[in-house]
Every structure is written in structure tokens, then in C-alpha cells.
Amino acid sequence: MPEPPPRILAEAPLGKLRGASYALAVLPWGATEAHNLHLPCGTDIIETEAIAGASARVAAEAGAHLLVLPVVPFGVNTGQMGIPGTINMRPSTQLALLEDVLESLEHLGIPKLAILNGHGGNDFKPLIREASLDHSTFVCQVDWWRALDMHHFFDEPGDHAGEMETSLMLYLAPDLVRPLSEAGSGAERRLKLRGFQEGWAWTPRDWRKATDDTGTGDPRGGTRESGERLFAELTAVIGSFLAELAATPVDQLYA
């Protein structure tokens, strides 16, 4: 049986890539920002890179030939500017980066790209729409935290550095998690106008006004065991989707 092509581009030598054919590339995209007082600023990077790799393994076991690209470590963090640890990337910069990646994939003959998004401030929908005018590659966005109902795993999942992310990091990178006794409460002050509260009006959160510790959600219920269970089920679901996406021709995506 021939050896399968490499799945992780950053680990692949040229000799293994020559002659390899891929139906799908996966681009993990995170952010660099504070995550309460107990999680590292690279939390979104660590989580998303790990989920991409494990999901790709699931897809490969189902027969998919896919290639995981190196993680993009910076996201849209305009609402956290000035908070220590924040590195912001403008949406216009994200578009330029995406277009360069698409151009490279076209030269490599890879027809599809799935952006695995690990940061709520990233919104690739308008970027994908714009890039589609100039590129033939099929592109979709996958928000990994939306793939499952987090309330099936956690009493209080939280929106940012809460129980869910704390649990994942206790499983993925426990040495980088400070004792939960050092964590902030994750209490959030919400915008008070009715339209914002009901969701039909929107503005970016100013994190310096919305929270005292950059967390939104109480992290104290987080456990390694919950993180391990979530990771296993999450990567199974996303891996299955990636396998289906790799196997389905673009002109057959509609029922």
C-alpha cells in the first residue's frame, strides 16, 4: 500500500510533497490576545492548531487527502488594543494574506480551502466573498466553537476564557494554565441599549469597558476531563465534515 501524503505542511519535507495530490487545504487561524488572568495569550493559536491537526487525522482515516497549513497567529483585536498581549491584524490585512494563500494553492493545484477559525473577532465571510471574485479556489469558514452545543459539556461554557476554553487548555497545554485561584471571575458588563442586547444591532466590544480581566465566563468549573471529552467529539465532527468536503466536487455541493 502506498504511503499516504503528509498532512501537516510545516512538518513535511519536499521529498514527501513531490507527487502528492490534495483535495483540500485547511488553514487554522487564531489570534494573540489576553485570556483572563490564567490562560496564555496564545490560547486561540494552541486550540485551533491542535483541533486542525486532530480533525485532519480523522479525515485522513476516512480516506481524505488534505493538507493542514501553518496556523495564522494574529486576528482582528481592535477592541483589545492597549491591553497587554494584544496583537491586532486588520481585516484588510487578513484579506491580503488570504489572497496570497489562495494564489499559492492555485499554483499547487489544491481546489478547496477550509479556514478553521479559532477567534470570535475574525469574520471571514466578507473576505471570502471578495476573494471569490479573483480566485477559483472554493473557500469556506469553519468556526470550531460552533460545531457542537457547548452546553452539552459545560454548565457555563463562557464566551471567552471561561469554562470551555479553560477545560480545553487544561487538556491541551496544562503547563501553560495558571492555577484557577489566580483567574478573574470573567464577569461581563454588557451594552445596555435594547438593540444590542437583542442582537439586531451590533458594535465591537470595548474589552476594557466590558470586563476587568478580559474573560467573559466563569472559568472555575473547567476540568481536564471535560476538555478531553470535548476535544474528542469536536475533532470527530469537524474531521467528518472535512472528509466530506474533500470528497465532494464543488459542482456537487448543492442538493
Report whether 222 contacts 177 (CB < 8 A). Answer: no
pLDDT of 52 over the 80 cut: yes
Q: Are 159 and 120 in contact (CB under 8 A)?
A: yes
| Beta strand ranges found along the chain (DSSP E) | 24-29, 66-68, 112-117, 138-143
Backbone angles phi, psi at 165, to 5 degrees: -70, -35
The predicted-structure confidence for 103-160, as pLDDT tens digits, reads as follows 999 999 999 999 999 999 999 999 999 999 999 999 999 999 999 999 999 999 999 9
Contact between 6 and 53 (Cβ < 8 Å): no
Cβ pair 135, 99 in contact under 8 A: yes
pLDDT of residue 67: 98
Strand, coil or helix: what is 8? strand
How far is Cα 155 from Cα 151, in angstroms, rounded to an integer?
6
Angle at 169 between CA 54 and CA 121, to 5 degrees: 85
- Summarised one tens digit per residue, pLDDT across range 65-88 is 999 999 999 999 999 999 999 999
E strands present in 118-168: 138-143
Residue whose C-alpha is closest to residue 244's, from 10, 33, 23, 72: 23
pLDDT bin (cut points 50, 70, 90) of residue 4 is confident
Cell numbers 482515516: residue: 61
pLDDT exceeds 70 at position 42: yes
Residue 1 has pLDDT above 70, yes or no: no
Which CATH number among 2.60.40.10, 3.30.950.10, 3.40.50.10310, 2.130.10.10 corresponds to the domain 9-14+21-252?
Answer: 3.40.50.10310
Please, are residues 41 and 85 in contact by the beta-carbon 8 Å criterion?
yes
Q: What is the pLDDT of residue 249?
A: 95
pLDDT tens per residue across span 195-242: 999 999 999 999 999 999 999 999 999 999 999 999 999 999 999 999
* 117: helix, strand or coil: strand
Residue ranges of the domains in the chain? 9-14+21-252
Report which of 113, 123, 172 is spatially closest to residue 143, judged by C-alpha positions.
123
Q: Answer yes or no: are the C-beta atoms of 32 and 74 closer than 8 Å.
A: yes
